[in-house]
Amino acid sequence: MQHPTRNAVTDRLRAFRPRTLPLPEGTRRAAVVLAIVDDGEELGLWITRRAARMRAHPGQWAIPGGRLEAGETDVAAGLRELGEELGVHLGEDAVLGRLDDYETRSGFVITPVVAWAGRPAEPPVPNPAEVDELHLLTLDALDVEPLFHEIPESDRPVVQLPILDDLIHAPTAAILHQFREVALHGRDTRVAEFEQPVFAWR
């Protein structure tokens, strides 16, 4: 796959009309940052495996991010969480756009923010309290077709991405798939109908 330029990704995100979801009672807003990294050879995104000791979703694949604090915007929260999790500090001028909000079964409405990290001056330093593994998922590796299967608990299809020698599930899989469709291929693809596996509902 030919790597997109920063300008190409920005143009595709500007042409996309992201959907903002209302906040249902009992849910909280969160934000994640899809940080596009240039390692000198390939472009990729940082994704993590959450620390096994964490109370919520231990050991699951995740995009750096977390819940909004009082008075924060989704961009400010996502960039703050990127700094707290990986020690990477980007300014709001690095933000290229956003994708659709995704409502999780565990009580969050997640806003995905896309940012250009380029070649960071310093390598990321994962916070061991939150991150067990850090991977640079190349855009070539991300450019795969999703898998779907049915579960008796829902009439929505569970989405999986076969990457990093594993199967990554929603919400991470849904967000990554929409990034692939919109930022890499310029396709107006929605993912709100994609389900999470039951183990991620808590």
Q: By CB neighbour count within 10 A (0-12 exposed, 13-18 middle, 19+ buried), where does 27 fall?
A: middle
For residue 113, tell me if it sits in a domain: yes
For residue 94, tell me if it sits in a domain: yes
Sign, CA dihedral 186-159-198-85, equals negative
For residue 202, tell me if it sits in a domain: no
Q: Give tens-digit pLDDT for 11-39.
A: 999 999 999 999 999 999 999 999 999 98
pTM (two decimals):
0.94
Task: Count how many domains the chain has.
Answer: 1
For residue 48, tell me if it sits in a domain: yes
For residue 100, tell me if it sits in a domain: yes
Q: For each of the chain's 202 residues, which pLDDT tens digit applies? A: 567 889 999 999 999 999 999 999 999 999 999 999 998 888 999 999 987 676 666 678 999 999 999 999 999 999 999 999 999 999 999 999 999 999 999 999 999 999 999 998 889 999 998 899 999 999 999 999 999 999 999 999 999 999 999 999 999 999 999 999 999 999 999 999 999 999 887 7
Distance between start and end Cα atoms, the chain: 37
Range of the domain at 47: 6-139
Cα 144–chain centre separation? 16
- Domain CATH code at residue 49: 3.90.79.10
Which amino acid, 118?
G
Q: By CB neighbour count within 10 A (0-12 exposed, 13-18 middle, 19+ buried), where does 68 fall?
A: buried
User: What is the spatial distance between Cα 114 and Cα 105, in angstroms, rounded to a whole number?
Assistant: 23
